[in-house]
Chain A
Amino acid sequence: MTTAAKRRSRRLIPTLALIGVGALALSACSSGGGSGSQKESAEFAYLSSDTNTQISTVLKIVSKNQCAAEQKAQPLKISTTPGTTVDQKLQLLAGQNALPTMSTASGTPDLMKQFIKANKIVDVTKALGSDSGSILPAAMSTIKQLYGTDDAYVFPTEFNIEGIWYNKKIFQANNIEIPKTWDELVDVSKKLNAAGVQPISTDGKDGWPITRLISGYLYRDLGTDAMQKVADGSAKLTDDEYVKAADAVAKLGADGAFGSSVGSIDYNGMFNTFLTGKAAMMYNGSWSLTNFADPKQDQIGQENIGFMPFPAVTGGKGSIDDIPSNIGIPVMFSQSKYGPKTQAWIKCIANNYGDLALANGGVVSGFKVTKVPDNLSDLTKLVQQKVSDTKSSVLWFEALFSAKRTQVSQSNAAGLVSGSLSGEQFMKLVQDAQ
């Protein structure tokens, strides 16, 4: 469907709807119409989500220094919206062809695919042209996997690896080796429980730190294409080998690995339990480095935190080197506001983002880094190293799900580990959500 045809159909709907209402309603309709002009706006408007302040910080820096020329041609203007309603806002704006020049992307890949399909956002690879090498290959492959496209349509303002962070002191005190396999993890968890230490701190309110364990198990057991097969329809979550993973996580929960009332623990609670030394491990992404670096939150000290990859499953097809990764919540550019001045901005940001994000806040992005600052913490250096070493990456449990399936999965995760849902029941709920 071409853009013109789409625009026509978009206008057709309300018109059809209004026929039943009569003349009164038609007056409201006539005010609608010709929008979506291709005119480049005078401002380089950026709609940020309040859950990410890092991007704004970097943008402000480049606008004064590296991108001063672009700033002069098209001044930067930042506005903010609450993170909880980003998806709704983006849809409403996109429906009006009114997405700002640059905006936070949706955290729901399914919605992003709609934006790409409806030609609402800029093909960043094309916009960068010869500068497209500034995006790291690993980040590029994550973007392609995520949206099922050949080109990048977003800026990887973050590049995170995920795995299990552990408290070195607790491990030492209890004579625990880093678990290499899932079975070892189960044993470690039992041992810690017996010693009166909560093994894993998790966030049942948001659910994703639990479902990540299911996908982690699946990738190790069935190989890197485990979730792609579900997306293609060649496998179902209710198949025995998939249910096995959910059962394994449920069993871990039944053994008391996550403490009590998992469903009531939120993101802050998860961090607080781990960083005050009340839990031995936590599954989380490398974005946690900022929390680890904050002495107000981190009472166990950065030097006492270690990182281990998700353990292997004995006899599984996957490798322990396949690191789950994601690009956080990236940014995108509106097609309807795109023009040469914006293109200049896009190039300038891409060429400077990697260094500046690392230097200002220690964020590892999906952009090339030309100089690594000296004052980075050991933990950040470790992550930076891991990122550059990453050969193949895998996505997370919900990455290829529809928005509804994601919601069902994450809101029922706590039930899985607290015993109110069996592995099979959980997987059926998720599979049935279309």
Chain B
Amino acid sequence: MTDIITESGRPETTTTAPPRPAAAVTRFLRRLPLRIVIAFVLIIEIYPLFWTLQSSFKTQAQFLSDPFWKLPTTLEFSNYVDAFTTGQMGQYIQNSVLTVFPSLALIILFGVAAGFALEVMVWKGRGTVLLIFLAGIMIPGQMILLPLFTIYFQTQLTGTLWPLIITYTATGMPLTVFMMATYFRAIPREIFEASTLDGASIFRSFWSVGFPMVRNAVFTVALVQFFFLWNDLLIALTFTNSQSLQTIQVGLLNFTGNYGQVAYGPLFAAICVSVFGTLIIYLILNQRVMKGLTAGSVKG
């Protein structure tokens, strides 16, 4: 379950193909379709990013009148200034970070603990509880909005970031509990039985034996949840009642001005800040992410 299989762990696959005497030409031709596929993939993945970046430097007139592929004739850095001054991107980024990361921490903590208890421990009714959690995966978010609005209002949480954090944590529960339970299922029970025989308390078994064994899985779940929460629009729209509470996704809607006019330059500047900011975090974490995703697969 842990990261046994890494890139370096499998050099034998390349060497096992018997060396052929055939010329390099055939090899090149054999590789050609693959290269075309890769070139195509590169284009459809990189161009949109580039397009977003170059759009952020266009003036409104250029964006509306010039063809799609035309590069900006001037570099409108004022778009970036607008994005942060009138657009308040800084505030939105701060709110996104302040809601998403605490929620993520709670999701992982609660989810892993529940997954452990549901799969490793033995008690009556655990099947039912797992099923109740599983049912939550199917609930459309729209269904819970109105009652939640009432609850948050009556408990006077409206006007803070708490409604977002609480709702995010709860909506992350079903999938996390379900996935963690499946990961724990894959760990041989003998490990926990042995650790309890050694006299470890159940919390110790969980914290020092169970948790480390699913470390990579935790990373995977955290990543999946991060993208769900980071890109959430529905919940953030409903529970943020002032501009000072809005997250990035809601904030991006604010670049629509009088009578539905869109300020495209500042909008794309804001998108770029959000996208390339995430890209940097992502590239730093990349090794971890891919290892986590590949080491901890979802097993049905």
C-alpha spacing A35/B153, complex, angstroms: 10
Q: How far is the CB of A194 from chain B (nearest CB, A)?
A: 25
C-alpha spacing A290/B150, complex, angstroms: 40
User: Quick check: B261 and A96 within 8 Å, CB to CB?
Assistant: no
Q: Which of B43-60 contact A (CB under 8 A)?
A: 59-60
User: Quick check: A50 and B257 within 8 Å, CB to CB?
Assistant: yes
Interface of B is mostly: helix
Q: Tell me, yes or no, whether A95 is within 8 Å of chain B by CB.
A: yes
Query: What are the 6 tightest A-B residue pairs by CB atom distance, in nearest-first order?
Result: A79-B242, A272-B64, A82-B253, A80-B243, A32-B154, A267-B260
Interface residues in chain B, defined as those with a beta carbon under 8 Å from any beta carbon in chain A: 59-61, 64-65, 146-147, 149-151, 153-155, 158, 237-238, 241-244, 250, 253-254, 256-262, 264
C-alpha spacing A272/B211, complex, angstroms: 59
Write out the residue numbers on chain B whose beta carbons fall within 8 Å of the beta carbon of A80. Answer: 242-243, 254
Write out the residue numbers on chain B whose beta carbons fall within 8 Å of the beta carbon of A33. Answer: 154
Q: Tell me, yes or no, whether A53 is within 8 Å of chain B by CB.
A: yes
Instruction: Considering the complex, give the chain A residue whose CB is closest to the CB of B146.
Output: A92
Write out the residue numbers on chain A whose beta carbons fall within 8 Å of the beta carbon of B260. Answer: 51, 83, 206, 266-267
C-alpha spacing A269/B238, complex, angstroms: 29
User: Quick check: A267 and B237 within 8 Å, CB to CB?
Assistant: no
Q: How far is the CB of B148 from chain A (nearest CB, A)?
A: 10
Q: Tell me, yes or no, whether A405 is within 8 Å of chain B by CB.
A: no
Q: How far is the CB of A280 from chain B (nearest CB, A)?
A: 18
Q: How far is the CB of A76 from chain B (nearest CB, A)?
A: 14
Query: CB-defined interface of A101-129 with B at 8 Å, one 1/0 digit per residue?
Result: 00000000000000000000000000000
Q: Tell me, yes or no, whether A84 is within 8 Å of chain B by CB.
A: yes
C-alpha spacing A53/B86, complex, angstroms: 12
Query: CB-defined interface of A81-102 with B at 8 Å, one 1/0 digit per residue?
Result: 1111100110011011010000
Instruction: Considering the complex, give the chain A residue whose CB is closest to the CB of B151.
Output: A28
Write out the residue numbers on chain A whose beta carbons fall within 8 Å of the beta carbon of B243. Answer: 79-81
Write out the residue numbers on chain A whose beta carbons fall within 8 Å of the beta carbon of B61. Answer: 272, 296-297, 299
Write out the residue numbers on chain A whose beta carbons fall within 8 Å of the beta carbon of B254. Answer: 50, 80, 82
Question: Number of A residues whose C-beta is below 8 Å from B?
Answer: 40
C-alpha spacing A291/B260, complex, angstroms: 12
Query: CB-defined interface of A45-66 with B at 8 Å, one 1/0 digit per residue?
Result: 0010011111000000000000
C-alpha spacing A52/B242, complex, angstroms: 15
C-alpha spacing A269/B61, complex, angstroms: 11
Q: Tell me, yes or no, whether A148 is within 8 Å of chain B by CB.
A: no
User: Quick check: B151 and A84 within 8 Å, CB to CB?
Assistant: no
Q: Tell me, yes or no, whether A171 is within 8 Å of chain B by CB.
A: no
User: Quick check: B151 and A267 within 8 Å, CB to CB?
Assistant: no
Q: List 9 A-B contacts (CB under 8 A).
A: A14-B150, A33-B154, A50-B257, A52-B258, A83-B256, A92-B146, A95-B150, A271-B261, A272-B61
Partner of B258, one of A14, A32, A51, A89: A51
User: Quick check: B150 and A82 within 8 Å, CB to CB?
Assistant: no
Q: Contacts A50-B256, A51-B258 hold; do A85 and B64 have CB atoms under 8 A apart?
A: no
User: Quick check: B256 and A82 within 8 Å, CB to CB?
Assistant: yes
Q: Tell me, yes or no, whether A38 is within 8 Å of chain B by CB.
A: no
Write out the residue numbers on chain B whose beta carbons fall within 8 Å of the beta carbon of A98. Answer: 153, 158
User: Quick check: A268 and B261 within 8 Å, CB to CB?
Assistant: yes
Q: How far is the CB of A263 from chain B (nearest CB, A)?
A: 16
Q: Contacts A92-B149, A296-B61 hold; do A31 and B154 have CB atoms under 8 A apart?
A: yes
Q: Contacts A82-B237, A276-B65 hold; do A96 and B258 have CB atoms under 8 A apart?
A: no
Interface residues in chain A, defined as those with a beta carbon under 8 Å from any beta carbon in chain B: 14, 28, 31-33, 35, 47, 50-54, 79-85, 88-89, 92-93, 95-96, 98, 206, 266-269, 271-272, 276, 287, 290-291, 296-297, 299
C-alpha spacing A89/B155, complex, angstroms: 18
C-alpha spacing A95/B259, complex, angstroms: 27
Partner of A272, one of B65, B250, B257: B65
Q: Contacts A80-B254, A82-B250, A84-B256 hold; do A268 and B64 have CB atoms under 8 A apart?
A: yes
Given A88-B237, A88-B238, A93-B241, 8 other A-B residues pairs in contact with their CB atoms under 8 A? A32-B154, A33-B154, A51-B258, A51-B260, A80-B243, A83-B260, A272-B61, A296-B61
User: Quick check: A287 and B256 within 8 Å, CB to CB?
Assistant: no
User: Quick check: A84 and B253 within 8 Å, CB to CB?
Assistant: yes
Q: How far is the CB of B234 from chain A (nearest CB, A)?
A: 10
Q: Contacts A31-B151, A31-B155, A268-B64 hold; do A51 and B259 have CB atoms under 8 A apart?
A: yes
Write out the residue numbers on chain B whose beta carbons fall within 8 Å of the beta carbon of A51. Answer: 256-260
Write out the residue numbers on chain A whose beta carbons fall within 8 Å of the beta carbon of B264. Answer: 268
Write out the residue numbers on chain A whose beta carbons fall within 8 Å of the beta carbon of B147. Answer: 14
Q: How far is the CB of B69 from chain A (nearest CB, A)?
A: 18
C-alpha spacing A95/B146, complex, angstroms: 10
Most interface-central of B149, B151, B250 (chain A CB within 10 A): B149
Q: How far is the CB of A27 from chain B (nearest CB, A)?
A: 11
Write out the residue numbers on chain B whose beta carbons fall within 8 Å of the beta carbon of A14. Answer: 147, 150
Q: How far is the CB of A34 from chain B (nearest CB, A)?
A: 9
Q: How far is the CB of B250 from chain A (nearest CB, A)?
A: 7
Write out the residue numbers on chain A whose beta carbons fall within 8 Å of the beta carbon of B64. Answer: 268-269, 272
Instruction: Considering the complex, give the chain B residue whose CB is closest to the CB of A269.
Output: B64
User: Quick check: B262 and A268 within 8 Å, CB to CB?
Assistant: yes
Instruction: Considering the complex, give the chain B residue whose CB is closest to the CB of A205.
Output: B260
Write out the residue numbers on chain B whose beta carbons fall within 8 Å of the beta carbon of A54. Answer: 258
Instruction: Considering the complex, give the chain A residue whose CB is closest to the CB of B243.
Output: A80
Instruction: Considering the complex, give the chain A residue whose CB is closest to the CB of B63.
Output: A268
Partner of A85, one of B65, B150, B237, B261: B237
Write out the residue numbers on chain A whose beta carbons fall within 8 Å of the beta carbon of B242. Answer: 79-81
User: Quick check: A32 and B150 within 8 Å, CB to CB?
Assistant: yes
Q: How far is the CB of A204 from chain B (nearest CB, A)?
A: 13
Write out the residue numbers on chain B whose beta carbons fall within 8 Å of the beta carbon of A81. Answer: 241-243
Write out the residue numbers on chain A whose beta carbons fall within 8 Å of the beta carbon of B155. Answer: 31
Instruction: Considering the complex, give the chain B residue whose CB is closest to the CB of A290.
Output: B258
Q: How far is the CB of B299 from chain A (nearest CB, A)?
A: 33
Write out the residue numbers on chain A whose beta carbons fall within 8 Å of the beta carbon of B153. Answer: 35, 96, 98
Write out the residue numbers on chain A whose beta carbons fall within 8 Å of the beta carbon of B151. Answer: 28, 31-32
User: Quick check: B60 and A297 within 8 Å, CB to CB?
Assistant: yes
Q: How far is the CB of B49 from chain A (nearest CB, A)?
A: 24
Q: Contacts A28-B151, A32-B150, A33-B154 hold; do A53 and B257 have CB atoms under 8 A apart?
A: yes
Write out the residue numbers on chain B whose beta carbons fall within 8 Å of the beta carbon of A96. Answer: 149-150, 153-154
Most interface-central of A50, A95, A98, A269 (chain B CB within 10 A): A50
